[in-house]
Structure 1
Amino acid sequence: MKSRLRLAILTSTLLAGAAHAQDVTLTIESWRNDDLTIWQQTIIPAFEAANPGIKVVFAPTAPAEYNAVLNSKLDAGSAGDLITCRPFDASLELYNKGHLADLSGLASMANFSDVAKSAWQTDDGSATFCVPMASVIHGFIYNADAFAELGIEVPTTEAEFFAALDKIKADGTYIPMAMGTNDQWEAATMGYNNIGPNYWKGEEGRKALIAGEQKLTDEPWVAPYRQLAKWKDYLGDGFEAQTYPDSQNLFTLGRAAIYPAGSWEISGFNTQAAFKMGAFPPPVAAAGDTCYISDHTDIALGMNAKSANADAAKTFLEWVGSPEFATLYANALPGFFSLNSTPVEMADPLAQEFVGWRAKCQSTIRSTYQILSRGTPNLENETWNASANVIRGTETPEDAAKRLQDGLASWYEPQK
Structure 2
Amino acid sequence: MHKNTFKGLFLATTLLGASAATAQQAELTIESWRNDDLAIWQDKIIPAFEAQHPDISVRFTPSAPAEYNAVLNSKLDAGSAGDIITCRPFDASLALFEAGRLADLSDLEGMSNFSDVAKSGWSTDDGSATYCVPMASVIHGFIYNKDAFEEVGVAVPQTEEEFFAVLEAFKEDGNYIPMAMGTNDQWEAATMGYNNIGPNYWKGEEGRMALIAGEQKLTDEGWVAPFRQLAKWGAYLGDGFEAQTYPDSQNIFTLGRAAIYPAGSWEISGFNALADFEMGAFHPPVQNAGDTCYISDHTDIGIGMNAATENPEAAMTFLNWVASSEFSNIFANSLPGFFPLSKADVALEDPLAQEFISWRGKCESSIRSTYQILSRGTPNLENETWNASVAVIKGDESPEDAAQRLQDGLALWYTPQQ
1:131 to partner: Cα distance: 0.7
Q: Distance in 1 between matches of 2:246 and 2:62?
A: 21
Provide, for residues 32-68 of structure 1, a one-character-per-residue CA deviation record: whole Å limited to 9, x for no partner. 2332222222111211222224332223333333333
Q: 1:216 maps to what in 2? A: 218
Q: Which amino acid aligns with 2:97?
A: Y
Q: Is 1:116 aligned to residue 150 of structure 2?
A: no
Q: 1: CA distance between counterparts of 2:37 and 2:371?
A: 24
The answer for the alignment partner of 1:378 in structure 2 is 380
Q: Which stretch shifts more, 78-87 or 398-407?
A: 78-87
After superposing on structure 2, the runs of 4+ consecutive aligned residues of structure 1 that deviate more than 4 Å are 18-23
Sequence identity (%): 77
State the one-letter code of the partner of 2:303: L
Deviations 1:140-184 (A, max 9, x none): 000111111111111111111111111112222221111122221
1:304-343 correspondence runs (5 A): 304-343=306-345
CA separation of 1:117 and 1:226: change in aligned 2, threshold 3 A: same
Q: Note the C-alpha offset of 1:90.
A: 2.1
Structure 1 segment 7-406 matched on structure 2, within 5 A = 23-406=25-408
Separation in 1 of the partners of 2:305 and 2:288?
Answer: 46
Which letter does structure 1 place at the counterpart of 2:293? C
Q: Distance in 2 between matches of 1:21 and 1:86?
A: 31
Change (3 A) 1:19 1:273: farther
Quick one: distance in 1 between partners of 2:222 and 2:77?
Answer: 42
Other structure's SS at 1:410 match: helix
- Structure 1 stretch 70-79 or stretch 146-155: which is displaced more? 70-79
Shift, 1:24, TM fit: 3.7
Between 57-66 and 243-252, report the one with greater CA deviation: 57-66
SS for the counterpart of 1:42 is helix
Letter aligned with residue 65 of structure 2: P
Do the aligned partners of residues 108 and 256 (structure 1) sit closer, same or farther apart at CA in structure 2, a change above 3 Å counting? same
1:296 is paired with a residue whose SS is strand
Distance 1:240 1:76, change over 3 A: farther
Query: Which region of structure 1 is more displaced relative to structure 2, 137-146 or 290-299?
Result: 290-299
Residues in 2 aligned to 1:180 and 1:81: alpha-carbon distance in whole angstroms: 41
Shift of 1:414: 0.7
Return the TM-score normalized by structure 1: 0.91
Aligned twin of 2:9: none
What CA deviation, in whole Å up to 9, does each residue of 1:177-219 have, x standing for no partner? 1112222111111110000011111111111111111111112
In 1, are the aligned partners of 2:117 and 2:366 still within 8 Å (CA)? no
Partner of 1:408: 410
Distance 2:241 2:63 in 1: 29
Q: Partner of 1:5 in structure 2?
A: none
| CA–CA separation in structure 1 for the residues paired with 2:61 and 2:21 | 25
Partner residue of 1:6?
Answer: none
Q: CA deviation at 1:94?
A: 1.2
In 1, the alpha carbon distance for the partners of 2:119 and 2:326 equals 19
C-alpha separation in 2, matches of 1:94 and 1:383: 26
Amino acid at match of 2:387: N
Q: 1:352, CA displacement in angstroms? A: 1.4
Against the structure 1 CA distance between its residues 31 and 385, is the aligned structure 2 distance closer, same or farther, given a 3 Å change threshold?
Answer: farther
- Following superposition, the deviation at residue 21 of structure 1 comes to 10
**Aligned letter for 2:266?**
W
**CA 1:247/1:79 → structure 2, altered by over 3 Å: closer, same or farther?**
farther
Structure 2 SS opposite 1:294: strand
Q: Secondary structure at the match of 1:342?
A: coil
Amino acid at match of 2:119: K
**C-alpha separation in 1, matches of 2:71 and 2:399:** 36
Name the CA distance, whole Å, in 2 between partners of 1:380 and 1:164. Answer: 30
Distance in 2 between residues matched to 1:99 and 1:376, nearest whole Å: 26
Counterpart code for 1:235: L
Separation in 1, partners of 2:62, 2:242:
31
Offset of residue 372 of structure 1: 1.0
* Aligned residue pairs, count: 402
Q: Give 3-state SS (helix, strand or coil) of 2:211's partner.
A: helix
| Separation in 1, partners of 2:40, 2:67 | 21
1 CA distance for matches of 2:23 and 2:101?
A: 27
TM-score (norm. length: structure 2): 0.91
Distance of 2:184 and 2:25 partners within structure 1: 48
Aligned partners of 1:120 and 1:373: how far apart in 2?
A: 16
8 Å CA contact 2:142, 2:282 repeated in 1: yes
- 1:246 deviates by 1.9
- Deviation of 1:22 after TM superposition, in Å, equals 5.9
SS in 1 for 2:77: helix
